[in-house]
Structure 1
């Protein structure tokens, strides 16, 4: 006789492989971009899988897919789980998709074992979260929450010049007829997700329980000096943009290392002009990505960072322009749901860690309106957004077990 964990392992792996076939990229990994053929094929396949598990399915206007199990007492209240269906280019099989498959498997199991719950149950496959095709993010959950803006996206283009409004219509969907409305009957949202880091693996934990999602501030920094001859311009007379930029980056990252977790700082892009070996650089442009779980600390650190960059520019006789293009505040998860998941793990003797998420998720938007929490499972070597993305089936199954019992507590009790 097979134990539940063995049954779950086999089922989850089978379903993840089944949907991966719909968006396999010849160049490697999975590419499932919003409203592409691969995206449509995958949503249709997920709809079939939901129906095989006995769920009632429907699409909303923009292509979010829902699988529902009706409650028998509190039919005006819904407990929801799920994640996003889209991927980055040449991504992995698990990011986003694990949360959808975990939700389908959990609801199918609960239906078979317990029948209807007191509340409705739903699993959602959100249309988009990554921003990989069009310059917009969280399109699925924004529409679910009623905070989408048609005017912002209608005429934006992808890398091939395809306009958003044409892509949505080609896929068989449309913009919502009335914006600003959100579902009022959803009382809790749980998102299962791979960690996308290596903390759980290093600490040998089976489950991560997310109690907050870090806030993010992202910057584009432009340093302007004077390009000049590398041999004839004395060091003391140079207006070296690259030198100034490198001092800024090095000091900011050193300071972030000093403060330590949960602060992280990343300079992920740099461009130097004229980028010639025998010319003093006249211009340097770089990015900074700063994250922390406390809004006041994030604000204080970034204000000090900007002040330091201006001082450095003055010392190096260059000019600096700092443009903040993202300012997402930290988002706490719901304490009652976090406590519920902890109790489930304790009861099942599962090794877990309460932790924050440094990456963005649909849950960070949803948590502002609906009680929300996240369940992480380990990512091997911390890899994500990559064809080598992998989570051992043991951990995939553990995540679903925890999701099942957590939903049971919220729905059937």
Structure 2
């Protein structure tokens, strides 16, 4: 089979479900577009001779049952949902690459020793409802009914109503699968590292841990014309000092630490009043848990010292605290060897700065990821794109990895 033409045909077909006139896709969990995509994917799996099944919440599996060890499953796939006005590769490429790799292996080598399974996860993005990783968390009983039964989308449609309208319901069993021996996820990088370093494949060794804060500083609002600089309690000035000092410190520490001040709301936010209050976000990430924790202490100490020096009160709310996730060393080595065989030295062992379903799987089963480059690092955007030749290389590496895991003793 020709991998490129097969991918292009499948990508065109599935991009039409939720496809936008300006390019890209909006395909939100349990929406009509989502339903059309998963039902077409179900038909496609059946056409390829796979055993097809949905679980209770809408995760879709296509299985090529193994001859010798059918109870041992090698799993590959990703999520079928997108963000609003997202690209055609984030999530979808991981599913299609797994399908094409399994199709290739079946045609060339026949039945595997271990079961190969292509997985379409119902949801990862959290774009329609305020809950992320619904698909992968449900597989491992990490998603509770209480987490979602009262939430609704922007139009007021309740989560459980949309789910049931799509033909699905809450998970009916607490049993967790014990047959999965490996999970391999292929994804676009969503960053500029591979493109900048002219690498074709990223061998992912871990997913960044994240800490996210909401910070509130309270000073004193006052007249912009009559309040001398020496008597001000200007929270924007304090915020600027915090941003400058912590950004400088993050650059001193160096990669792979990242720091982002992404949201800021000064009060009263008008031209002629000294801002007496400010609320802002801090997002910091690192692959090393100890390094992440150490920098978090620096963040909190800097906020405290700046606030106190400016006679301000402060509140530090750490609302996300996710530890780094490390990938399985044995599968990493298998991916790295497959990368060498396919692209020579044009690969890079690297962490992922973004979250992925693999971080959920990795706590339960041996898991690893591989990346292909993103043009200009653009993702979660209708302009998201990757060179076709790089997509093909990603599929070729995946098929070699799946061959090693499913066809070898």
**TM-score normalised to the size of structure 1?**
0.97
In the alignment, is residue 117 of structure 1 matched against residue 91 of structure 2? no
Match of 2:366 among 366, 371, 381: 371
How far apart are 1:26 and its partner, in Å?
4.8
Match of 2:171 among 176, 181, 185: 176
CA–CA separation in structure 1 for the residues paired with 2:102 and 2:110: 10
**Contact 1:240 1:318 survives alignment (8 Å):** no
* SS of corresponding position for 1:23: coil
Task: Name the structure 2 match of 1:24.
Answer: 19
How far apart are 1:52 and its partner, in Å?
2.2
**Contact 2:342 2:396 survives alignment (8 Å):** no
In the alignment, is residue 80 of structure 1 matched against residue 75 of structure 2? yes
In the alignment, is residue 208 of structure 1 matched against residue 202 of structure 2? yes
CA–CA separation in structure 1 for the residues paired with 2:249 and 2:8: 43
Match of 1:11 among 6, 9, 14: 6
How far apart are 1:247 and its partner, in Å?
1.1
CA–CA separation in structure 2 for the residues paired with 1:120 and 1:318: 61
In the alignment, is residue 404 of structure 1 matched against residue 388 of structure 2? no
Cα distance, 1:296–1:173 mapped onto 2, change above 3 Å: same
CA–CA separation in structure 2 for the residues paired with 1:28 and 1:136: 26
Task: Name the structure 1 match of 2:313.
Answer: 319
**Contact 1:78 1:186 survives alignment (8 Å):** yes
* Deviation readout 1:110-141 (Å, 9 max, x if unpaired): 11111111100101110111111111110000
In the alignment, is residue 302 of structure 1 matched against residue 296 of structure 2? yes
In the alignment, is residue 71 of structure 1 matched against residue 66 of structure 2? yes
CA–CA separation in structure 2 for the residues paired with 1:290 and 1:349: 33
Task: Name the structure 2 match of 1:228.
Answer: 222
* Deviation readout 1:313-334 (Å, 9 max, x if unpaired): 0111111111111111001100
Match of 1:45 among 40, 47, 55: 40
Match of 1:91 among 75, 86, 90: 86
CA–CA separation in structure 2 for the residues paired with 1:37 and 1:27: 20
CA–CA separation in structure 1 for the residues paired with 2:179 and 2:331: 17
* Deviation readout 1:17-60 (Å, 9 max, x if unpaired): 11010111357531111111111111111112222222121110
Task: Name the structure 1 match of 2:253.
Answer: 259
Corresponding residue pairs, total: 407
CA–CA separation in structure 1 for the residues paired with 2:363 and 2:171: 21
CA–CA separation in structure 1 for the residues paired with 2:56 and 2:281: 36
In the alignment, is residue 339 of structure 1 matched against residue 340 of structure 2? no
**Contact 1:215 1:292 survives alignment (8 Å):** yes
